[in-house]
Amino acid sequence: FMKRRKIWNHFPPGPTPLPFFGNVLQMDFKRLPICFTQMSKRFGNVFSFQVGWTNVVVLNGFEVMKEMLLKKSEDIADRPPIPFYSKIGLDQGLVMMKYGHAWRDLRRFSISTLRNFGLGKKSLEERVIEEAGYLCSEFESKEGQPFDAHYLMQNATSNVIASMVFGDRFQYDDDKFQKLLYLLDQNMKLGKGLLPQILNVAPWLRHVPGPHQKYVKCLYNYLSFLEEIVEEHKKSWDPSHQRDYIDAFLEEMEKAKDDPGNTFKETTLLAATCDLFGAGTETTATTLRWALLLMLLYPDIQRGVHEEIDRVIGRDRRPVLDDQMNMPFINAVIHEIQRYGDIIPLSLPHFTYRDTEIQRFFIPKGIIIFINLSSVLKDETYWEKPHQFYPEHFLDAEGKFVKREAFMPFSAGRRVCLGEQLARMELFIFYTTLMQRFSFHIPENQPRPREDPVFTFTFSPHRYQICARLR
């Protein structure tokens, strides 16, 4: 009794809940990150709300995140149970697996395997440079006419992860590849609404006909597509010649096959493949879509980027990662694209792994935690112009690049993005190569594209058309 009293007396404050509904009727789910930031002004940087009878805590602002993500990271390193995902094995991958030894084994294995397949080495850099070349050819083939680069960005980024995980890239017009990317896109779209939430409360509904079947079928199709790739790998597997992440995983499965408690099972392989492909494609592609949109909207900044490229790299040699050190302006622009684009505004859901305290509040083990990254990337007490696109946030008075502590688009702590290094490399090479070859314009007689984001689980730009002229 005393413990319960301690918990609820010191639990973070929040709006008064209604019986059965909790606070869901008071929340604006279409603009959740903005709604959270507004609530934090009323209830403070650590506040709570209820979904039905379930308590959720939201963390906001740089100071709170520094304390929680950096100093007490393990306390919130768990993930909440997602019953629908558990039924189909998706809680066994890198992203949603419970914190513990199995997650640690899988994360360690994945990082070292991606390194073996080139991460942090010249070989992968060359692969990305080659892919940037294919992307430029596609842009060039539009001959300055208006087009939507949405899928091309996805083609390019998913090919980088595909070459490490599946061992090969795809041609942009390959039917199989187009189908995979279409399913990925649909999953993102359909997964945002109320239906997936209902499936979580009642996972058995996946067997019942209804409008939610569109989402269920799309997810099943996506998984069976990846299953096919895993099956093909099993048939052609040769332990003496490791081709990719899947092969390396099959070898771990073979080594651990007699240990019933081992991490390396087929369900984990499928979920991890699904996670790497999903997390590795959409995030980087969305950031590149913001990058081109912002170049359309801010021609002066585009001009500054062109000037730096001409001065440091010239027009003939292809950009390489080492150039970044000598290009403070581009480096600042890319950081600002990530800050302003704020593409994963609420990170992924966390779950308290043990009882913890933050500021003067007590949060018991087993509570869902939302990390409002948006409130850090746009923290009004930290950034000079939090709601404007302003690359000077990352430049000092002499034009040198400066790191900023509140730059956390990849989150931080135990669950920090596993692909940060890969994403940063891709962003620099794809962006700089495109900017070297083209100048970007709003198509004639078309209105200025919208600058506000669409919120699904990500903040992405509204669809827009672009004209790419060879420089």
* Ranges assigned E (strand) in 385-458: 438-441, 453-455
What is the spatial distance between Cα 461 and Cα 452, in angstroms, rounded to a whole number? Answer: 7
CB of 130 to ligand HEM, least distance (A): 17
Is residue 445 helix, strand or coil?
coil
Instruction: Output 39 or 418, the one with its CB closest to ligand HEM.
Output: 418
* Helix, strand, coil fractions of the chain, as percent rounded to 5: 55, 10, 35
The verdict on 107 binding ligand HEM (CB under 6 A) reads yes
CB of 232 to ligand HEM, least distance (A): 22
Structure tokens given for 350: 């966390």
**For residue 427, how many other CB atoms are within 10 A of its CB?**
19
Site for ligand HEM in 347-376 (CB under 6 A): 347-348, 371
φ/ψ bin of 242: left (φ > 0), alpha (ψ from -120 to 50), beta (otherwise): beta
Number of chain positions touching ligand HEM (CB under 6 A): 26
Residue in the block written with tokens 């199989």: 176
Burial class (CB within 10 angstroms; exposed 0-12, middle 13-18, buried 19+) of 312? middle
Label residues 139-165 b or e (16+ Cβ within 10 Å = b). beebeeebbebbebbbbbbbbbbbbbb
CB of 366 to ligand HEM, least distance (A): 17
The verdict on 409 binding ligand HEM (CB under 6 A) reads yes
The verdict on 163 binding ligand HEM (CB under 6 A) reads no
Instruction: Output 45 or 338, the one with its CB closest to ligand HEM.
Output: 338
CB of 258 to ligand HEM, least distance (A): 28
**For residue 98, how many other CB atoms are within 10 A of its CB?**
15
What is the spatial distance between Cα 16 and Cα 237, in angstroms, rounded to a whole number? Answer: 58
CB of 423 to ligand HEM, least distance (A): 4
Q: Which of 56, 58, 95, 377 binds ligand HEM (CB under 6 A)?
A: 95
The verdict on 415 binding ligand HEM (CB under 6 A) reads yes
Instruction: Output 233 or 339, the one with its CB closest to ligand HEM.
Output: 339
The verdict on 328 binding ligand HEM (CB under 6 A) reads no
Q: Which of 218, 327, 368, 422 binds ligand HEM (CB under 6 A)?
A: 422
What is the spatial distance between Cα 455 and Cα 259, in angstroms, rounded to a whole number? Answer: 44
Kindly indicate which of the ranges 8-16, 172-180, 395-403, 411-419 contains the residues binding ligand HEM, using the contact rule CB under 6 A: 411-419
Binding mask 259-298 for ligand HEM (x = CB under 6 A): ----------------xx--xx--xx--x-----------
Binding site for ligand HEM (CB under 6 A): 94-95, 107, 161, 275-276, 279-280, 283-284, 287, 343-344, 347-348, 371, 409-411, 415-419, 422-423
